[in-house]
Structure 1
């Protein structure tokens, strides 16, 4: 009969606990967040749907200049920003270990000693006064106590809160790796861009120096013409002014060369020093064809898109973690060890053996506003991650489209500038010959020289822009990190 009553009491407790859990479940809020829209056009404008993609080419194979390759190699080791990012990746990896440890039992070793004296006219004092350990030994006063053993605590991950935290930490780590890869693509692009800028400046300096020789020869000629009364002082001053102007431009370009070299040195992580390079035959540098593949390949090739996708997945798990805070937490605590009031008894078992086992269930009841706020924040962060993911995809597609158009238009522009430079270069000698024979004014000679110089500077800039556009398109497609 007593067993039956005991069984009825246990059943009542079980059903009360189950009813409490069901009630708590029904009070837990939920919010549906829309899925990210990853639909993008099937192909780029005026590009075939061939899946061959230059983004899969390693950067060491994409660039052919050994000096540029050496600079990038050095930067990947010494660049401070990249090394800072690597530390963040390491911290994200350590966070995985921390989260993994949270859903495993915590086991510790403890040892302690204490002394206790109670009043004789108390319950404990009266009991201890009349106790003896053996016939020869009385109960000690004051009472000492020595203990040593193991303790363990474990939160049962019934609602998968701790496991979801660990999975979110893994995704955040992977996102940080993709963030590092994206930084590498930016670093490679920045170094290549600065390097090509430096080559262009070298060529512009050479053009100005060559043009100065032509102008100085023209100045000598105009002075002779003046002595022969075939030219005026005005013509001499105009020619001198053009020489001074180009001498001034020469110093400006030299300053830009210093600044560009130091930019490269900063990216490589070293103090100012000359940048090794070969600037000859800059205009003859080949512009490689870039194969864009299809837009959907951006989702797998671009590190920033993969990073945004992983962060979105992590935010979904964080919502589950925040929701699990509404549910009761179940914990188990246990300990086992040896305990005695004298050290000589501590090894006598089973008399000195002590152990305990405690289970508890704690559920939020009154102060749920903080938990609701955390849950609302987690949902907002998930929606934010959805928009961030969509924005990254849209930005990637537009970047590729812009650079594709830029490559095409620059190629057309360069062909026309080649013809312009050729015609204007030939016109310099013609204008001088015509001036000598009094069939042209000195202003025509000046104008021809200026236009020829400008056209040569512009074609160098166009070649530079072509090289930069190729690098940017390669980066936009997701190349440069592997």
Structure 2
């Protein structure tokens, strides 16, 4: 009775020491305050009226009405290599969820085995076998066989939600990868549209050069006639010839740019170099159309990069909790049940062949806490980094929209002025030629007038191209194009 009481007292002391140890572990766990993110945005864009209509909600098929461009985008969304690579990353992130989910579920394994053992006579087991043979009068099996079949399970009890938080972090990483894919789609649609407009603009520049070459060729023939009539000099002829050759040379430069732009589009849609079907007629008269900016807060829902940063931040917060949980003791349970005998025919003889075990253990870090502290500090640093990445994404998105809206307004004003400039210079070509024919202007005035008219026409095409690129830019900045 006294021994039993002493044993009870020892157990109480042991439990008390264990409790003190757990409390000590808790008290030594460091704690850091998480940095909270700031997702505030201005109420409206600069110099813009408050309007909830947003072009980002328009699908790209409706926003880009050109059928040739729509066909190119459709192909790119299926065959673009970078997008397909990103889709595989999304799939890997999805598989990571399944991996982490399995970590907090019991692990069950089935095992079967057979072995043969021969021990030395002068060992403990050998002496026991010899003693049994003498006592029982039967020869002990030599070598000794052993057959076993059973199931074993192990389970880490997720007391501190470490495994569940790790799984939730994987979910957020998966959602982040989806938004990364959406952001890539937005950029792919925008880059393809921009390249298409650049290609059409190059076609328009080629058409303008062809028109000017026809005018300059006629002017050259006129100057040659004037020289024959002794009303012009060889210098004038040479200057006009040089201008014609200059524009022919520029024509080949633009043709090379056309080839490179076509191949850029072919690369984006994942196919070998070939002609890009397009309709470049009337590019100068193409309308930009109205772009509706909506409200700044809509960027938080429409911009995939902001949503991606938001999910990354959520995952980083959970990673901090997981890192902190590593300081706490982990509770593990192991169990097994099976059949074991030295002959196969005895495996079904129960309960003699039955074996089972149940083990529970608590493991707490004690000595090597520096590595856990370092991992916890890194998790906190990544969380702070994610906060700044999230805030930077919001600020960058707002700035991009403001810049593109301002760009559209200024380009519209510039385009109106350039239209008048081109019209004036185009009319001045005929005037200069008539004045030259009547000896009231020299050849340099004709030459410079033609040159200025060509440059202003090309500038008008560039301005129209910039308008179309600004339309694409504001659509991308608002977060449009990823929702098919």
Task: Bin the TM-score by the shorter chain.
Answer: over 0.9
- Which whole-Å deviations, capped at 9, do the CAs of 1:366-411 have from their partners, x for residues lacking one? 1111111111111111111111111111111110010010000000
For residues 14-93 of structure 1, the aligned pairs below 5 Å read 14-93=15-94
CA distance in 2 between counterparts of 1:4 and 1:277 reads 96
Q: Is the 8 A contact 2:213 2:244 kept in 1?
A: yes
TM-score (norm 1): 0.97
Equivalent in the alignment of 1:429: 430
Q: CA deviation at 1:16?
A: 2.5
Gap change, CA 1:246 and 1:197, over 3 Å in 2: same
> Where does the alignment leave 5 or more consecutive residues of structure 1 unmatched?
none
- Which whole-Å deviations, capped at 9, do the CAs of 1:250-303 have from their partners, x for residues lacking one? 000000000000000000111000000000011121211111111111111100
Equivalent in the alignment of 1:354: 355
Q: CA deviation at 1:123?
A: 4.1
CA distance in 1 between counterparts of 2:137 and 2:25 reads 61
TM-score (norm 2): 0.97
Equivalent in the alignment of 1:243: 244
Q: Is the 8 A contact 1:133 1:139 kept in 2?
A: no
Equivalent in the alignment of 2:128: 127
Gap change, CA 1:33 and 1:222, over 3 Å in 2: same
Moved more, 418-427 or 210-219: 418-427
CA distance in 2 between counterparts of 1:245 and 1:337 reads 92
Equivalent in the alignment of 1:305: 306
For residues 272-283 of structure 1, the aligned pairs below 5 Å read 272-283=273-284
Q: CA deviation at 1:440?
A: 1.2
Gap change, CA 1:218 and 1:133, over 3 Å in 2: farther
CA distance in 2 between counterparts of 1:131 and 1:346 reads 22
For residues 74-473 of structure 1, the aligned pairs below 5 Å read 74-131=75-132, 138-473=139-474
Q: CA deviation at 1:354?
A: 0.6
RMSD: 1.7
Gap change, CA 1:133 and 1:327, over 3 Å in 2: farther
CA distance in 1 between counterparts of 2:84 and 2:137 reads 73
Q: Is the 8 A contact 1:425 1:452 kept in 2?
A: yes
Q: Is the 8 A contact 1:165 1:317 kept in 2?
A: yes
CA distance in 1 between counterparts of 2:374 and 2:294 reads 45
Q: Is the 8 A contact 1:109 1:151 kept in 2?
A: yes
Q: CA deviation at 1:137?
A: 5.9
> Where does the alignment leave 5 or more consecutive residues of structure 2 unmatched?
none
Q: CA deviation at 1:121?
A: 4.5
Gap change, CA 1:447 and 1:225, over 3 Å in 2: same
Specify the SS of the correspondent of 1:131: helix
CA distance in 2 between counterparts of 1:277 and 1:5 reads 96
CA distance in 1 between counterparts of 2:11 and 2:283 reads 89
Question: How many residue pairs end up in the alignment?
Answer: 482
